[in-house]
Amino acid sequence: IELRQVGTRDETKYLGGLAPCGRICCCAGNMPEFKKVSVKMAKNQGLSLNPGKISGLCGRLMCCLSYENDYYVEAGKKMPKIGAEVGTPEGRAIVAAVNMLRMEVKVKMDDRNGGWIYKDYPVQDIRFKKPAQNEKPEPEPDDEE
């Protein structure tokens, strides 16, 4: 008798199923080997850190988080941080949100009546201080699951 322990991702690979996106599970369809997936990847992509939303059928972090991570890391370097003060064609503003797929920045500007005006601008129209090339962000602990 030979006994083998099958991990949760292996089990999902053998059983198959549909992922939350409506496609066949990545591990069952097109992944020859499992890649390292971490919570930091979900943070890079601006996803909710709710475990129910970033977990696959196996109960672990979704494998597809690793597919687009490189794009989001590079796009994040070109975008201002939320809450940062930036220059726009219409004057100073505060970053309210960023859309890394469209490379757009939503800013809020004072309307001079005590309220706020929200506008979207392409990132190339925004002036902000980019981190220096030699400046390294603080390392985050590896949140691999």
Q: What tens digit of pLDDT does each residue of 107-134 get?
A: 999 888 888 999 999 999 999 887 555 4
Global pTM reads 0.68
- Of the chain, the percentage scoring pLDDT greater than 70 comes to 86
Distance CA 68, CA 71 (A): 5
- Residue 42: name the closest of 22, 23, 19, 60 by CA: 60
* Other CB atoms within 10 Å distance of the CB of residue 76: 15
C-alpha of 39 from chain center: 10
- Each residue's pLDDT tens digit, 36-47: 888 999 998 888
Distance CA 136, CA 78 (A): 15
35-39, 46-50, 136-140: which range is least confident on average?
Answer: 136-140
Distance CA 77, CA 18 (A): 33
* Average pLDDT score over residue span 91-111: 92
Does pLDDT of 51 surpass 80?
A: yes
* Other CB atoms within 10 Å distance of the CB of residue 60: 19
Residue with tokens 């988080």: 65
Distance CA 42, CA 46 (A): 6
Within the chain, what is the greatest distance between any pair of CA atoms? 79
Are the beta carbons of 106 and 120 closer than 8 angstroms?
A: yes
Question: What is the predicted pLDDT for the residue at 32?
Answer: 67
* Average pLDDT score over residue span 51-68: 82
